[in-house]
Amino acid sequence: MQHHGATLQYYNTDGDWTALPVSGATSPWGVAAPMCGWYATKQLDLRGLLAGDESGINFANVVLQEPQEIRALTSARETGIFMLDILTTVRPTERAMSGWFRGVGTHGTAAGFLQSPSTAVAGKADSTSQTFNPSQVVWGLWRLITTDPNVVLSDQGLGTFGVRTLNSGYFGEGETVVAPALFWTRVIFGFKSDNSVGAYPIFVPSANLVVLGEALDLTTPQEITQMMRASQR
């Protein structure tokens, strides 16, 4: 699966990247201001692999490939990027994605995990929100990227700092998939200590998601069980 790179700035749309709504009067459930958020989703059609006797796919490995670094053209020290790649059995909604990261000062509503009691009010799940059970999250990778004042990439003006990955982690159940499609979603949030967060461009590289899987011949009870676990609830 492939996603192309993009230059994200001022809530723009670049290629198949779309800006997430910002929380306010029109969208109280959107990205927590003063952050910005963008996402891009690709669908992997599995119907051809499940058309014969094989009724499920077992994933042996999932590898994210990026030929370039993620960059932020900024001279501000209090700048950061939260990047999330996730492979799911259902397509995430904008409402769900906007609550995955609520900033560095509070908890978000991570897909496939219990919600923290201290989650921001605007990010809490309600009757109209999309929730994910663990079986719906096949694979995921999150990264917290911050500016590094010790690395100056440009001497123009006040200097342009480099960025580095401060922390990262994998998640996802990797269960046998019987869904007709999978959705690879890339979500990126830019944050800063003031309202100029949208002023600096974020460069996201093109990426490939290499998925190694094996088609399995499941019994009818096994297939139905996996359908129940992977369905949206």
Looking at residues 139-143, what average pLDDT do you find? 96
Q: Rounded to 5 degrees, what are φ and ψ at 134?
A: -55, -30
- Residue entry with tokens 């990027």: 81
What integer pLDDT is reported at residue 5 of this predicted model? Answer: 93
**pLDDT above 60 for 25:** no
Q: What is the pLDDT of residues 88-123, one digit of tens each?
A: 988 999 989 998 998 888 888 888 888 887 776 544
Instruction: Give the amino acid at 8.
Output: L
Looking at residues 136-146, what average pLDDT do you find? 93
Instruction: Judge whether 57 and 50 are in contact, CB under 8 Å.
Output: yes
**pLDDT above 80 for 230:** no
Instruction: Judge whether 200 and 79 are in contact, CB under 8 Å.
Output: yes
Instruction: Judge whether 229 and 135 are in contact, CB under 8 Å.
Output: yes
The total number of structural domains that make up the chain: 1
Structural domain of 111? 2-230
Top pLDDT among 48 and 51 is at 48
